[in-house]
A and B are shown apart, each in its own frame.
Chain A
């Protein structure tokens, strides 16, 4: 049993995560045999069904006992066990470096948790960031033994990648043609909007989960007086004098933003989950993601 000492995953969390597994709502063909019972029929020890023999079927799967009794050829079908592609796409832009814990740290922890579930279940796990160059593909891990390497990789992710969301997602899609589960962990705060990015993901026919991470400061801004707000990504400035109507209007806009993203995802078969950085990751995984069907 591996007992990692990483900050990302505590032993308690690991113990909790070990009981879970990733679920895909779509039928994907795994490349390798995994521990996951596929919806497809294949080769495993678990009987699934019979069907009539047709020409060219593998004779090894003919149920000879039935043939002896009924004088008809039946083919025994078994459940297939296969592996799953799990992608975690982390937004490591400068805007994620806010909050306590920072949104990026939260995103990393969340990615690590989900990836660990995948590793345990022998799924193929890949973690990438938005700002990653188009041609540089990240490493892929499989099996529990890869946990360390995965965590190391996660630790190396630092904020401040200057990449528009849409472009980053597009690069991700170009790099990874495999189907599977993709979890986009971002704050979606891109001045050019998030819709293009999500459309790319949708186009790949992946099982898409969008987890929007917002910090407490964004949800309940604790500001006063006359301020010049500076956008950490593009140095854009906004001069405000904090007043009750302004705060009210901000919250309305935030709510509208969140609702818009949720609506967008729901209409397109994507799952949207809002994660506040104050909500512990274990609760998020064991409660919210479970409800959403990402894990079980």
Chain B
């Protein structure tokens, strides 16, 4: 090989090595033939250079001094050779830079380690906070996207979004573009957060479960464990995840959000009737200040869009303040409470509650003869709330009863000292009998059980004073799991309520009047008895539920009870297009699409049936200060606030450098600048 050629080849090799170090990162992007093609370019340049190097002949008087000069300079090492073909090197450098540009060079502090990645992106309500512009979710997507860009060939990644549930946006894929596309498609939700499901989804491949029985020592692992790096992009505002072990997952918690983010939230908003004046509506709200500074806000209450009251509220940092409104002459409509806080999360600055027309409950009272109860069910107040039909136990055997009971014709059936052969599709109150179910158990009858405790927190026992009530004899009850003891005596539960397939059965362990018309208790002569009956009507006959729909959180299903005979109702959500809901098996319309906060209007054909409201009312979501660590099982994952090393595109800079080299080459060639 000619010395010059060897020199050039060596230098080209040096350039290659130099560029190679920088190119290495994206080396996997090119196929072998592409590399070969790229490798041909410098060779071509060298060849062209040699073709070009047909030196121009020039006659001179004497080459004597030139020979001497060349010989002198040849003594001077390799630098002279390098200078000799400076233009060639500049051209090679230019091509190297251009080739490098085409390879999309990037710089980064740290590479992704491993080749399996799982990106969990939180899209719960709190991720809509604007403390990091534009929103936390956008920031999370940006960070996740930066990591996706760092993936090399052979790396696979899974993308999961999670709020109150988890959704696999993209299962393990090698395609960064697809992952990017799916990532961009993740939408903000108004839902609360739960990491557990997302973790279970993520751990599926990394920690393959045993085939079935964890306790079985002989059970074997069904698949090879696939370790993966788990990136959680979240503000960490969710309950502690119990019973989960990362196993082969290597968690990285990327904190999204400002640590000092402040937010004022409406934590609760509900309506009720004044005890003294049931016609007077009251609205209660709780305002929470999730921030480090005292805030003053104006809480405005409007009915159907018209402002009816406004109150200035001061809230100490970290504290909550209640606010109460007494709007007059409100029969139906939508109450909206909004605060003018300039805070990170706007979602919880507005709350709604709806007041629907009272739907009269349908009550069947089955008794042989029970004057006190009959009397209590005949008060004016009860008649306002419900239609009470009184029948004798014979009625239970009739087809009419079966039809009505099974078809959801009643909201509440009161069985006084009797029991149906089949439980009705309705709430029930059993007096002196147990429901037809193995779940309910009873002990031996006891005489004069002493009431020692009353569960006044339960709607059935609210404002019911049992202090001087005497019971002649009673049967201690054992409610099914999930049930609640409402009246506790020294012998056991005398009044309890338990769930049954979406309905509730309340059981009184003692009778008001026994078969012989003897008084079983002195309760009926107490003022608390009619209150209790009213509570029963309000709670079990659904009269209260119809006053306001209570607080439904985003994503929670709403069981809409309607008198309408129609099989379908139309629901118009606050944002999306209306949809229809069919009557469910329990005679209710189960509305499950409640993802967005706001007011959902319900119509049955042409008739407006009312509306219900979906509110955030979630301290975890409203308190937007991100959690510094995640508690998962016994493991704590420290959060990282610093940016994950990001991939920064370099090609613009490299291209500029290439242009600079080109300019230098041009200048040197034309202006004879000798280096």
Chain B residues with Cβ under 8 A from A45's Cβ?
Answer: none
Q: Is A48 an interface residue (CB 8 A)?
A: no
Chain B contacts for A218, CB-based, 8 A: 61, 65
Cross-chain contact B69 with A253 (CB below 8 angstroms): yes
A40 CA / B60 CA spacing, docked (Å): 49
Chain B residues contacting A227 (CB-CB under 8 Å) are: 55-58
What sequence of 0s and 1s flags, for each residue 205-234 of chain A, a beta carbon within 8 Å of any chain B beta carbon? 000000000010110000111111111110
> For the complex, what is the distance from the CA of A191 to the CA of B59, rounded to whole Å?
16
B70 & A230 in contact (Cβ 8 Å cutoff) = no
CB <8 Å contact, A231 and B60: yes
A56 partner residues in chain B, CB cutoff 8 A? none
> Chain B nearest CB: distance from A185 CB in Å?
15
Instruction: Evaluate whether A238 and B63 lie within 8 angstroms (CB atoms) in the complex, with A243-B675, A253-B69 already known.
Output: yes
Min Cβ gap A222→B in Å is 9
In the complex the two chains form, what is the Cα distance from A242 to B330 in whole Å?
A: 99
Q: Is the C-beta of A244 less than 8 angstroms from some C-beta in chain B?
A: yes
- At the interface, yes or no: B458 with Cβ under 8 Å from chain A? no
Query: Of A191, A223, A225, A247, which one neighbours B62 at CB under 8 angstroms?
Result: A191
Residues of A within 8 A of B58 (CB): 223, 227-230
Residue of B nearest to A99 (CB): B61
Does residue B72 face the partner (Cβ distance < 8 Å to A)?
Answer: yes
> Contact mask A245-263 → B, CB, 8 Å, 1/0?
1110110111001000000
The answer to whether the Cβ of A239 comes within 8 Å of any Cβ in the partner chain is: yes
A246 touches B70 (CB 8 A): yes
Q: Kindly state the separation between the CA atoms of A257 and B69 in the bound complex, as whole angstroms.
A: 12
Residues of A within 8 A of B76 (CB): 245
Select from chain B the residue with minimum beta-carbon distance to A241: B84
Known: A224-B672, A245-B73. A230 touches B83 (CB 8 A): no
B63, B65, B67, B80: the one within 8 Å of A230 (CB) = B63
State whether A257 and B65 are in contact (beta carbons under 8 Å apart), knowing that A243-B675, A244-B675, A246-B70 are contacts in the complex.
Answer: yes
Query: Cβ of B674 and Cβ of A244 under 8 Å apart?
Result: yes
Query: In this assembly, does A240 line the interface, its C-beta being within 8 Å of a C-beta of chain B?
Result: yes
Q: A5-39 vs B: 1/0 string, CB under 8 Å?
A: 00000000000000000000000000000000000
Look across to chain B and name the residue whose beta carbon is closest to the beta carbon of A223: B58
Q: B residues 53-105 with Cβ under 8 Å of A?
A: 53, 55-70, 72-73, 76, 80, 83-86
Q: Does the CB pair A95–B674 fall under 8 Å?
A: no
CB atoms of B69 and A246 under 8 A apart: yes
Residues A189 and B66 in contact, CB atoms below 8 Å apart? no
Given A226-B53, A226-B55, A230-B57, answer yes or no on A250-B62 (Cβ-Cβ < 8 Å): no
Given contacts A224-B672, A242-B674, A245-B76, contact A231 B63 (CB under 8 A): yes
Establish whether residues A232 and B72, one from each chain, have CB atoms under 8 Å apart when the complex forms: no
Q: Is the CB of B61 within 8 A of A253?
A: no
Q: Which residues of B contact A253 (CB under 8 A)?
A: 65, 68-69, 72
Are A187 and B70 in contact (CB-based, < 8 A)? no
**Contact yes or no, A232 B65, CB < 8 A:** no
A228 touching B56, Cβ below 8 Å = yes
**Could you say which residues of chain A place their CB within 8 Å of the CB of B66?**
229, 238, 240, 250
Tell me, yes or no, whether A78 is within 8 Å of chain B by CB: no
Report the minimal beta-carbon distance from B443 to chain A, rounded to whole angstroms. 112
Q: 1/0 per residue B302-320: CB within 8 Å of A?
A: 0000000000000000000
A230 touches B61 (CB 8 A): no
Q: Tell me the smallest distance from the CB of A179 to a CB of chain B, in Å.
A: 32
Q: How far is the CB of A268 from chain B (nearest CB, A)?
A: 22
Residue of B57, B72, B675 near A249 (CB, 8 A) is B72
A236 part of interface (Cβ distance < 8 Å) = yes
The minimal Cβ–Cβ distance linking B63 to chain A, given in whole angstroms, is 4
Q: How far is the CA of A246 from the CA of B72 in the complex (A)?
A: 9
CA distance A223 to B63 in the complex (A): 14
Chain B residues within 8 Å of A264, by CB: none
Q: Is A279 an interface residue (CB 8 A)?
A: no
Residue contact A187 to B63, C-beta cutoff 8 Å: no
Q: Does A79 contact B (CB under 8 A)?
A: no
Residue A288 at the B interface, CB < 8 A? no
| Chain A neighbourhood of B675, CB < 8 A | 243-244
Q: Across the interface, which residues of A come within 8 angstroms of B68, CB to CB?
A: 253
Q: Are A232 and B57 in contact (CB under 8 A)?
A: no
* B contact residues around A246 at 8 Å (CB): 69-70, 73, 674
Q: Which of B63, B76, B86, B675 has the most CB of A within 10 A?
A: B63
- Residues of A near B56 (CB, < 8 A) are 225-228
CB distance from A94 to the nearest CB of B (A): 8
User: B669 to chain A: closest CB distance in Å?
Assistant: 8
Tell me which of B63, B65, B83, B85 contacts A245 (CB under 8 A): B83
| Nearest opposing residue in chain B for A102, CB measure | B61
Q: Does A98 contact B (CB under 8 A)?
A: yes
Would you call A237 an interface residue if the criterion is a C-beta within 8 Å of the partner chain's C-beta atoms? Answer: yes
5 contacts between A and B (CB under 8 A): A189-B62, A227-B57, A230-B60, A233-B62, A253-B65
Given contacts A225-B56, A227-B58, could you give 10 more A-B pairs where the C-beta distance is less than 8 Å? A187-B61, A217-B60, A218-B65, A229-B60, A231-B60, A238-B70, A242-B672, A244-B674, A245-B674, A250-B65
